[in-house]
Each structure stands twice: as structure tokens, then as C-alpha cells.
Amino acid sequence: MDTDTPAETAERAAGLVKRMTLEEKCAQLSSLWHGVEADAGEMAPHQSEQTGGAVAAADPLAHGLGQVTRPFGSARVDPAEGAARLAAIQRRVRESSRFGIAAVAHDECLAGFMAYGATIFPTALAWGATFDPALVHAVARRIGDTMRSAGIHQGLAPVLDVVADSRWGRTEETIGEDPYLTGVLGTAYVTGLQDAGLVATVKHFAGYSASHAARNFGPVYLGPRQFTETYLTPFEMAVRLGRAKSVMPSYAANDGVPSHANTRLLTGILREEWGFEGTVVADYFGVNFLNSLHGIAGDRSAAAAAALGAGVDVELPGVDCFGEPLRNAVAEGLVEEKTLDRAVERVLAQKIELGLLDELPEPSGTVDFDPPEARALAAEVARKSVVLLSNDGTLPLAAAPARVALLGPVADDRAAFLGCYSFPNHHMRYDTESGEPYPVVDTGVAVATLADRLAADLPGAAIEHVAGGWVRESTDTEIAAAANAAAAADLAIVAVGDRSSLFGRGTSGEGCDAPDHALPGRQNELLEAVLDSGTPTVVVVVSGRPYALGTAPERAAAIVQAFLPGEEGAAAISGILTGATEPEGRLPVGVPARRDSPPATYLGPQLARRSEVSSVDPTARYPFGHGLTYTEFTWDEPELLSGAETAPDGVVEVAVRVANTGGRRGTEVVQLYLHDPVASTVRPVQRLVGFARLELAPGEAARARFAVPADLAALIGLDGQWTVEAGALELRLGRSAADTAAALAVQVTGERRIEPGTRALETQVTVETAVG
């Protein structure tokens, strides 16, 4: 790694650029994607169209290379062989460059390193359910260490999109519906990945998740206030607090301006206001989409000029617009060479920091992508992310029932626990020759099913498994068989949910958007038939988005939600059912009440809630932040430690003591919400501004203390600027967005305009244990 000062690095990069030819400069902004698995299906949007239309260079390494795309994520490769092959590619790249400059090797890491045989962690939505930034940091550090051991320099994660409509297929990749939770946990992931020596790439900048009708790539129609307050905030936190070194623009166009050509976004806000100094890398084919999909550029040269001018530095995944079309754009005067030089200097500065102008280390020869310590960490995240939605006392199972009917398509499906950006599900395919209706999945690592784990964890029970069909299709006969098995059992456990993949190959994941909130296929009919049996029924939902669960909230003995919990997910769920472990998760997204529930999050203003002037009720069945435990907690009256007034640049200190008064160890998540009753613009009824996890044994107590900057009450005023307004505020301490334990009134004594890039972004949280 480089030890130069930032000024020395910048000077060195600028000196290199002055010595480069036009071809060498463009090469540093381009990428190479090869070795893609032939029968894996599309791994990027419009992949076959885009790769078919580009003109391949005779020698793509003739003038050097900017990036190597997905050397492990594109096809199955042995870890040691892959590391050796990447090292060989790097030697060729260095030899092709007059300056001996290696390429940045990037890969995906949304649910672990997306490589065959690598640890498959829970999805980001499961991270959100943990409410545990320290754990998320540890996960990212572990993933980063694995990627560095294989020769990877840049990870395309985390996703900082805030869920607007959970029908969106990429909901599983997000951290949740709240910008503060997304920002805190996303920043923890950024720092963890970068502590391992990688470049973290935050995406998709910005507003991608707010697409019209929750359709992937759909247009976005966000006003400037909502766009800034909700959708930009997590990115600002990751850039300013986490010092993220790379940003990836969104595919979407907001109010008619595609992110890849949005100068105000990529240069004005990101660099000039927030002080970002890293690289902006295009989402795959995003530059040419300015021509082929958005229609704001007449050809590839115009697309290159628009993207480069706006602030895109590197084109991914291959050389397309930033190759010959960009050279032509410079020659024709569409792009000033100083604009090109600006991007090249940024790329080279980052390469210098990564040590890519120095001698690269050779691979060790033995590379373990799934070591025991990584599996243990994956197990911890899975365990802490499982959410107990409801429970009539049936759980935990005090003793193994004599006869258990284990039902549902998810109960014996390993792939159902994995996200779309895990290697197996990313490469999920159908065997067209055999005509088998189920996709082919090779997990590459040991993944137990729920059937496996329950058989081991309930050795005294006779367990009968009846799938009742597949996630996408079931017959009347299959559903009836499951209902009959339930009727003959002492307890029914029905596992329903998703099979995640890409572009319609799955029921969740990129390009797998849903028309409503119904469980995929006929799983809701299966669930109702099992409930009709009269046997006490525990519902287990393993999914990439929240689903409406019919009459289960009223009739099921218990409901457990897991958000694609990874390779150790079955053990985590089984542990919750049997009582070997405690439920600790909280919902990062609300669970809708009905399949036709309208798009809604808890962040809406008063008129977005249930009212007498509309016949449509958007209220969630289980709200953001909800999650039950197997013990009981008592909250004392909260304390306002800093007084009832604060200056507009002050800090408000709040504390609450919580005691575990039940008979089991448990975790309480204290959530702090801000309510602004009167403001110059319409505000959400409340929004999260802090949270604390309290892990307490029976009889233990702790005090959660929050130091809330007044800046967290700031809003985008009528003049378009961040402003803390004078007036009354209310800080609400609660167990969820719908369960407030107490409220404290605070008066802001004056008004303050906040200069761009200076707003305080995070509440400081302290947990004091063993309080008497």
C-alpha cells in the first residue's frame, strides 16, 4: 500500500497523466470482463444486447487497463486457481503499460464475496434486522480480508438505497426503509471493507429504489426535498463519516435526468458539497444506457461525453463508450482533454494508494474462502437477524412434539436461504435438456436445510416433511397432502418464502419485482390450508421482501421472519424455534397487512396514514422496528439530561434505563424517534434518529444514553437549504415505530442555516451496564 501523503499521491498521479497518450488515458478508464459462464443467464441488465453491440479492440491490453471485472463472480473457479489466474492477468496488464500500472480488480460482495465456495452471509436486509453496526463492520472486515487474499481491490457494496416500495425486487439488497438505519449500518460496512484494504463502492447513487411502480429501472419522480432528506442521507453518511472511496451511480433517471449524466449529483453534491475524493464507477453498461435506453445521447461518443462530463470516472463492466467512442469525442471537441485528465488523475491516485504501481504480491497458493471463523460470523448475523413477529406462547418449544409436520417449499431447499448476489443464486439456471421445472443450484459451500436442522435439534420428534409444491407452483394435490399431514400432527411448521435470483429467474432479487405483496405462487393457499387443519401452526417466512400473510397473524401460533439468512440460516431459525437461542431481530421494513396493501413506509406524514377521507388503509401489520423476545423488559421513565431547551447547533441528551424482568436472556432494541409538530414544510410523523441494542441476562439492567445533535432535526427549507428551525420538537423512545414508551419535549431556541457538507449526521450512543 502507498505511504505517500495525499498531496504527494495527487502530484504523482498528475505527473503520470502528463506523460500519457490519449489511448493510454482512456485505457485507465476502461474495464475488461471475460470468462463469463456461458449458460448462467444474464448477470447484468441487457447484458447480451450490450456486449453484442460493442466493438472489441484487437488487443484490449495494448495501452494498459483500468479494471478487471468480476474475476471470481463471473464463473465457477477454484479459489487458488482463480487467484493464480488473476495474478497472471495482472502481470500481462503491467507488461502492457509503459508505466507498469496494474488494474483494479473488482467483484461483488453484497452477501459475502461473490465467488464459488465463499462464505454466503445473510443479505443486507438481514443486516438491517440486527440493528448492530459493530457486527456489520466485523462482517465487512471479514469479507474484505477474504477478497484481498484473492487479489481483489474493490468491492461493489454496500447498497444504500432506501426502500420505498417493497415490491421492488432489490429490496433484499437494501438495509431497510429508514435512511438513518441504512446510513449507520452502511457506514459500518464501508469502514469494515476499507479497514481490510479494499475500496468500498456505495450504490446506487441515488433514488433508484423509488422507481415508479417498484419496477427495476423504472423512472423516478422524487421532489428535491424527499430526494435529499431520505435518499441522499445514507450516502452522505457513508461518504463523510465512512470516507467511502468509490460511488456507483443509479441506472434510474430522476425527474428526467439519468444519474450517470447528472452533473449536479456527481460533481456538485458529491464532490463540492461533501468533499468526496474517490472514484465514480459506472454501473454495468450505465454509460451506454444514456444512448440506448434513456435517449439523451445520440451515440456512444455522446454518451461518453455526457457521463465523463458529469463526473463518471470509470466505465464498467467492459470497454464500450470509454474506448474508441471517447477518443473520438475528444478528437471532435465533445470532451475537453482536461476533463479526461481529471478522471484519469482520480483513477491513478486510487491505484497509487492501493499499491498498483508497485510490485504486486504473488498468491500464497492456498486460499480458503469459507474458513470456520467466517462461518461463525455468518451464523451470528443470521441468529441476530431472525425476527419473531408473533407468538402465543408456543415458542420456544419446551419439549419436542411427538409428531411434527414440516411443510412448505422452503423447508427442504438450500437455495431458499441465499440472496441473488450469492454466487449460487446469481448463477442459478434451468436445465433445458431435462425439462426439469426446478432451477439448478450448486451451493459450493455446506448449507443445511431447515429439515436437516430440525431433525438434529428435535431428535425425539417424528418429523414428516411435505413440500406442498414449489415456491412458484403447486397443484391441488400437493396442497391437500400438506394439509393432511398437518391434521395428523401435533405441531405444524410451514416454511414459505422466496427463491432469489436475477431478471425473472427468481421470485426476489434484481429484476424480480412483484405485482403485489402476496407470497409467490400458491404459497398463500398452502398456508391457509395448513391453518385450516386446526393443528397449532408455526409459520416461518424466509424471504427477500416482506409479504402479507393472509389470516396467519390472527390464526398462527407463531410467525418467524428471516430475510435470506445465508449458509447458516437454517441453524439460526431452528435455534429460535427450539429455544436454543433467543430471537433478537427487529424489522427493517414493515410487513404489509394485505396482499394489495399500497406502497407505504412508516416515514410518511400524517396524510399518508389511515384516515377517514380514504378507503385504503396503508397501515403495516407489523411495523418498522417490531420484534418480540422470549423475555420481558421494563422501561423506567426516560431522562432529559441536557434540559428542555437547546440551541440550533446544540446537542440534546436523553437516557432511559431498561431492565430484563423475565426469566431468559434477551435483547431489547431501544429506538429513538424525532417528531416535529410544526415546520415550514410537511414532515414525516416521526423518523429514527438513534438506536441502542441492550443484551441483558435475567435481572440485569442497562441505561441507553443518546446525544442527539440538533442538526438531526434539520430539513430542506423553502429556500432549498438545510435548516434547523426554531420551535418545539419531541423525542420519542419506543420499541418500534408504532410502540412508543415515552416522549420528551424539547424547544429549539433559534434558527440555523447549515452550510453544505457540515451537517452533523449521527447520534452518539452509550450503553451503561449494571445500573442499579
Mean model confidence pLDDT for the chain: 94
3-state SS, residue 94: helix
* CA within 13 Å, CB half, 295: 1
Bond into 45 cis (ω within 30):
no
What does the alpha-carbon distance between residue 350 and residue 372 come to, in Å, rounded to a whole number?
Answer: 33
What does the alpha-carbon distance between residue 270 and residue 239 come to, in Å, rounded to a whole number?
Answer: 8
- pLDDT at site 770: 64
**pLDDT digits 0-9 by tens, 676-715:** 999 999 999 999 999 999 999 999 999 999 999 999 999 9
Bond into 306 cis (ω within 30):
no
**Is the pLDDT score of 434 beyond 90?**
no
Place of cell 474462502: 369
- pLDDT at site 26: 96
**Who's near 698: CB < 8 A, 6+ residues apart?**
631, 660, 662, 663, 664, 665
Return the amino acid letter for 107.
Answer: D
Distance from the first to the final alpha carbon of the chain: 49
67 bridge partner residues: 31, 104
**pLDDT digits 0-9 by tens, 127-156:** 999 999 999 999 999 999 999 999 999 999
740 bridge partner residues: 734
**pLDDT digits 0-9 by tens, 46-95:** 665 665 555 555 677 889 999 999 999 999 999 999 999 999 999 999 99
Mean pLDDT score, 313-342: 95
For residues 192 and 136, is the Cβ–Cβ distance under 8 A? yes
Mean pLDDT score, 587-605: 94
722-743 as b/e, with b when 16 or more CB fall inside 10 Å?
bbbbebebebbbbbbbbebbee
- pLDDT at site 321: 96
161-184 as b/e, with b when 16 or more CB fall inside 10 Å?
bbbbbbbbbbbbbbbbbbbbbbbb
Give the best-scoring range by mean pLDDT among 364-368, 438-442, 742-746: 742-746
Return the amino acid letter for 155.
Answer: G
**Is the pLDDT score of 102 beyond 80?**
yes
Mean pLDDT score, 150-173: 97
What does the alpha-carbon distance between residue 730 and residue 745 come to, in Å, rounded to a whole number?
Answer: 5
What does the alpha-carbon distance between residue 267 and residue 347 come to, in Å, rounded to a whole number?
Answer: 16
Query: Which cell numbers hold the place of 402?
Result: 411427538
Phi, psi for residue 751 in degrees, rounded to 5: -110, 150
Describe the crossing of helices 233-240 and 179-195 by its angle, rounded to 10 degrees.
30
Q: What is the pTM of this model?
A: 0.96
What does the alpha-carbon distance between residue 119 and residue 199 come to, in Å, rounded to a whole number?
Answer: 20
Alpha-carbon Rg for the chain in angstroms? 26
What does the alpha-carbon distance between residue 175 and residue 158 come to, in Å, rounded to a whole number?
Answer: 9
Closest CA to 632 of 699, 557, 705: 699
Mean pLDDT score, 534-550: 98
- pLDDT at site 107: 97
Q: Give the number of other CB atoms < 10 A from CB of residue 744.
A: 18
What does the alpha-carbon distance between residue 582 and residue 695 come to, in Å, rounded to a whole number?
Answer: 11
**pLDDT digits 0-9 by tens, 294-326:** 999 999 999 999 999 999 999 999 999 999 999
Closest CA to 574 of 449, 412, 471, 485: 449
- pLDDT at site 398: 81
From 58-72, 578-592, 754-768, the region with the lowest mean pLDDT: 58-72
**Is the pLDDT score of 207 beyond 70?**
yes
What does the alpha-carbon distance between residue 591 and residue 597 come to, in Å, rounded to a whole number?
Answer: 10
